Structure 1
Amino acid sequence: MATPKAQDEITTAPDPVELELARIPTPAAATAPAKDADPLLVAFDRPYDAENPLDWPAGRKWMVTDVLSATGFNRIMVSTIMAPALSTIAAELGMSPAESAMSLSIYLLATAFGPLLIGPLSEIYGRRVVLHASNVWFLAWNVVCGFAATKGTLIAARFLAGFGASAIYALAGGVLGDIWRPEQRGRSLGVYLLIPLLGAAVGPVIGGFMAARTTWRWMFWSTSIFQAVMIFVAFFSFDESYAPLILRRRAEGIRRETGNSRYYTQAERLDGDRSAVTVLGRALTRPLRLLAFHPIIQVTATLSGFNYGIMYVTLSTFSEIWTSLYHQSVEISGLHYIAFALGELAGSQLGGPLMDYFYRRRQAQNPAPESRIPLMFPSIIVSWAGVLMYGWTAQYRVHWVVVDIGVFLAMFGMQLGGMATTAYVIDSYGDHTSSAMAASQFLKSLMAFLFPLFAPSMYQALGYGWGNSLLALVGILLSVPLPIFIWKYGARLRAKAISTY
């Protein structure tokens, strides 16, 4: 017989601000009323329940995390693998420079809109079915990209492939929030990011060699083969992790066995007598409502989005520096993207342990999600110093090692701050993490799509030195006051917004 356990934040506290400041930021599925509060409430057993994703064995948690990580690697790699071969593809398919840039960035545009649908669906139908469906969708359209005979087919297929790939942006934060407790947030994020972070940087490296030694179509065929393998692995190793769905299925089983229709879950009680259409509509509009009305999402999405846009500005123009200014081959220019990968990997692997360390130090004080914020501040200095170093050393054609060090520092700092931002969103939005991540991803992908479109004109007019100085100035104006704002007012904002998800 199930025992009581609440799935969402308790909204009957006399002072919601004090409640928010006092409670440990665990997922909603981890909090519960007293065991005897309501014998008809279906919830996870305490202190341990084998079906509770937070109580899964460590090996099972790491299996799910690793599947997400490998899936994310392939989908993110496909977003950038075309970069070194754009001129070759343009010549073969008769594309203008704007059209070739569009074929690269249209994928990112799709990842802006996909999570708005996919994130809420995973909170209704579960993480597992959404992952499998998006895997197959992405595979089908990525194969079409490899066989594209016209520029229209390539651009359309890239958009549809990006829509399927975007599921990982909504699912990753949701699943990690499902299975890992707040004190393990840093380590789990660090391990998850270890492989996907390689994707954005390794993609151009692989693409450069493929463009020089074989047809560009193998960029899509090879990644499709890898995707097919991941579909097979995920089918047998990825378990459902969304606690409200697991409990809903448990409640349905109890109702069938006992014939008593009064058994319910906390999520079902919150839905009340709403129709299925109303519940679905509320879920599908949740990411946009979060983005429109929640200052926390607006602030974190703006911070993440600007950094993401700068990353793709650099990704899309980096090869041009080495081929035009340094007169290196396409193959060698691709190798410089290793500096990207190393910077992001170093940031994630240092940022994860640091987050957990600071969280444990504050755990005795019952820490709020805002305890993640201080890690954002060191990243400001490192990231924008790296952007300036990269721009001015490239401007004056300093030795390539110095340019790569600048890129390394920029990516290191952005990743360090980005991890803290992601952890803050996961901690703040409990059972609706996927919708919150989808709202953030909308701005991130939109900026990643738009920024590279103006980057060539900006660098042509200002040069790499002044161009990067302009980007660094805007970055500092955003990344200093916004974290201070959520550090000071985050708890009150979360308490006020708790019933508007």
Structure 2
Amino acid sequence: MVGIFGGDKELIADITASSMSLENGEKKYTGTIATSASTPEDPFLVKFSHSFECENPKDWPMLKKWTVTGVLSVTGFNRIMVSTIMAPALSTIALELHMNSTEAVMAMSVYLLATAFGPLVIGPLSEVYGRTPVLHATSIWFLIWNFVCGFSYNKGTLIAARLLAGFGASAIYALGGGVLGDVWRPEQRGQSLGLYMLIPLLAVAVGPLLGGFITEGTTWRWMFWSTSILQAFMIIASIPFFSETHAPTILRQEARRLRKATGDRRYYTEAERLDVGRSVSWILMRSLSRPMRLLLFHPIIQIQACLSAFAYGLLYLVLSTFSDLYIKQYHESISTSGLHYIAICLGEVVAAQVGGPLMDFVFDKMKQRSNGTPSPEFRIPIMIPGSLLTPIGLFLYGWAAQKNAHWIVVDFGAALLCFGMQISGQAMQAYIIDTYPDHTSSASAASQFLRSLTAFGFPLFAPKTYAALGYGWGNSLLAFLAIVIGIPAPLLVWLYGPRLRAKTLSSY
């Protein structure tokens, strides 16, 4: 049983009867196996307490918390690296597989299209079956299709394999926020997010850098074969070190164990009580529809999704054209052009490490001022510097490239752009985790849907935009949009966030 027992009439009756057990003078099993956290109101309700055999993940030792976080972070590294590894080799792949420039960019971007739809399924499933089986299943799926990419001898096979590999890779976007919300308390949100993002953000630079050297030194196919070998090692290593973090799943497992050990079927969890009388299909449809319901009917999710979509689109627009800029305008080799992605990586990594502790510091100070009452809006203040730095970085990067300024100026502008976007995005991600603690994975999937679409779409029109406007006015246009969209957003969330949250429908 996984919290779905619509057809089990005996269990339904037992759970219903358990709520009346005290009135009938019944006593719960008192043997050494029974470790449920009973309350005076209902002795058969299984929940976390000091006597519970399996601890609340939020109370785990720090070493165990960081181990789980680290496993997820390392897993994210390979999946994100594969999303960008093709960038320096697009022209080479296009020539060999007879693709035009748009088709070549699509072969890279279609991976991101899959990350729009994958979390819509993977996120809810992790809230029904738990994080562990979903993580391992999607890791194997990603391994298979990424390996197939290396054996693609026509553009159709490559694009299809990239799409399917991206579906498996997309699990990291749904599971990341969910696991961090499972394990870390709000006071530790910034630090955990910052360190969790450290390794995946390195992948943004390592991917194109590695892709450039592989393409020059051997065939581009080794981009996929080498990352598949790495993925296989990661799957093997993650099995013993990744523990289940989803609290309702842990409690369901304990309730099932108690029912089997005691022979008393009245032990149940809050999640199981919600599912009483529901069919398997109803539970799955309710869960699978949750991300889209959040996106359609929850203004907080809509705001966060639009902001992250714009930022993510900008990031992948820069990633898809950055190498091309240095090859065509600065006449550098493919491998040398890949080195410039280090600037993008540094901007994001520094932002994550600065923004995380700063977020916790601001949260703690504002919590003290509100007499110890926390609020998700306490994440918002650090979005303001991020929203200011983003357009500044766009202007600097665009006009430095337009005027053929020294490469370090262009790189600094790109780093500043990514620094600003990462600071703002990290704060908004923490805001969503705090606002939707019960369904963080579904909320993350809802916002991921829009940003993956823009990450897929923005690179497709980037070549024509820069060809028509140049890097200067092309980036200036994007900077003006960043000013209009990005700067008012933190103020609006700060002012109206509490009111919108108060009117929000249940995420169940």
Normalised TM-score (structure 1): 0.91
Quick one: distance in 2 between partners of 1:251 and 1:58? 26
Partner of 2:298: 294
- How far is the alpha carbon of 1:47 from its aligned partner? 8.9
**Residue in structure 1 matching 2:152, options 148, 155, 172:** 148
Separation in 1, partners of 2:354, 2:507? 35
Q: 1:189 to 1:466 in 2, by over 3 A?
A: same
Deviation at 1:34, TM superposition (A): 9.9
Structure 1 residue 132: deviation in Å? 0.3
1:454 matches 2:458? no
The Cα of 1:412 is off from its aligned counterpart by 0.6
In the alignment, what sits opposite 1:195?
Answer: 199
1:86 aligned onto 2:90: yes
Is 2:80 the counterpart of 1:76? yes
2:484 aligned with 1:480: no
Question: Partner residue of 2:496?
Answer: 489
2: CA distance, partners of 1:48 / 1:307? 43
Is 1:428 aligned to 2:435, yes or no?
A: yes
**Aligned partner (choices 176, 185, 193) of residue 181 of structure 1:** 185
Instruction: Report percent identity of matched pairs.
Output: 62
The answer on 1:398 being equivalent to 2:405 is yes
Asked whether the equivalents of residues 49 and 55 of structure 1 are also in contact (C-alpha less than 8 Å), the reply is no
Cα deviation digits, residues 388-440 of structure 1 (max 9, x gap): 10001100011111111101100111111111011001111012000000001
1:117 aligns with 2:117: no
Once residues 144 and 204 of structure 1 are traced to their aligned partners in structure 2, the CA distance between those partners, rounded to angstroms, is 20
Per mean C-alpha deviation after superposition, the further-off stretch among 247-256 and 74-83 is 247-256
Partner residue in 2 for 1:419 = 426
433-442 vs 35-44, which deviates more? Answer: 35-44
Instruction: Tell me the residue number matched to 1:305.
Output: 309
1:443 is aligned, of 444, 447, 450, to 450
Alpha-carbon distance in 2 for matches of 1:357, 1:37: 40
CA spacing shift, 1:164–1:402, aligned 2, 3 Å? same
Give the secondary-structure state (helix, strand or coil) at the position aligned to 1:123: helix
**Residue 321 in 1 paired to residue 328 in 2?**
no
CA distance in structure 2 between the partners assigned to 1:207 and 1:499 by the alignment = 45
User: Hey, what's the Cα distance between the residues in 2 that align with 1:242 and 1:425?
Assistant: 17
Q: Partners in 1 of 2:155 and 2:492 — Cα distance?
A: 46
Cα distance in 2, alignment partners of residues 421 and 160 from structure 1 = 29
* CA distance, structure 2, for counterparts of residue 164 and residue 47 of structure 1: 38
| Aligned partner of residue 176 in structure 1, secondary structure | helix
Partners of 1:254 and 1:210 lie apart in 2 by 54
- Separation in 2 of the partners of 1:302 and 1:46? 42
Residues 1:347 and 2:351 aligned together: yes
Structure 2 unaligned residues grouped into runs of 5+: 1-36
Partner amino acid, structure 1, of 2:424 = G
Contact 2:317 2:458 in 1 (8 A): yes
- Please give the secondary structure, in 1, of the residue aligned with 2:128: coil
Deviates more, 1:269-278 or 1:45-54: 45-54
Say how many residue pairs are matched: 469
Q: Distance in 2 between matches of 1:461 and 1:240?
A: 51
Distance 2:174 2:504 in 1: 21
Gapped runs of 5+ residues in structure 1?
1-32
SS at match of 1:497: coil
1:362 Cα deviation from its structure 2 partner:
2.5
State the alpha-carbon separation in 2 of the partners of residues 445 and 47 from structure 1: 44
Write the distance in 2 (CA, Å) between the matches of 1:492 and 1:260. Answer: 45
Instruction: Find out whether 1:236 has 2:236 as its counterpart.
Output: no
Query: Once structures 1 and 2 are overlaid, which stretch shifts more, 205-214 or 124-133?
Result: 205-214
Match of 2:100 in 1: 96
CA RMSD in angstroms, aligned pairs only: 1.4
Which one has the largest radius of gyration?
Answer: 2
1:131 aligns with 2:138: no
The 3 A distance-change label for structure 1 pair 144 and 280 is same
CA deviation after TM superposition for structure 1 residue 329, in Å: 1.3
Contact 2:143 2:232 (8 Å CA) reproduced: yes
Distance 1:294 1:271 in 2: 23
C-alpha deviation, 1:271, in angstroms: 2.5
Q: CA deviation at 1:96?
A: 1.5
Mapped to 2, the partners of 1:232 and 1:267 lie a distance apart of 31
Tell me the CA shift for residue 483 of structure 1: 2.1
- What's the offset of the Cα at 1:87? 0.9
Q: 1:231 to 1:93 in 2, by over 3 A?
A: same
Counterpart position of 2:379: 372
The letter for the 1-side match of 2:325 is: I
Q: Closer, same or farther in 2 for the Cα pair 1:301/1:233, shift >3 Å? A: same
| 1:261 lines up with 2:268 in the alignment | no
* Aligned-partner residue type, residue 486 of structure 1: V
Report the equivalent of 2:392: 385
Asked if the contact 1:50/1:56 (under 8 Å) is kept, the reply is: no
Match of 2:164 among 160, 172, 176: 160
d(CA) in 1 for partners of 2:219, 2:358? 44
- The DSSP-based 3-state class of the residue aligned with 1:239 is coil
* Shift, 1:254, TM fit: 1.9
On the 8 A contact 2:393/2:417 being kept in 1, the answer is: yes
> In the aligned structure 1, how far is the partner of 2:366 from the partner of 2:40?
32
Matching of residue 274 in structure 1 with residue 281 in structure 2: no
Matches of 2:272 and 2:239, distance apart in 1: 28
* Residues 495 and 269 (structure 1), Cα distance of their counterparts in 2 relative to 1, 3 Å cut: farther
Select between 318-327 and 121-130 the one with higher mean Cα deviation: 318-327
Deviation, structure 1 residue 476: 1.4
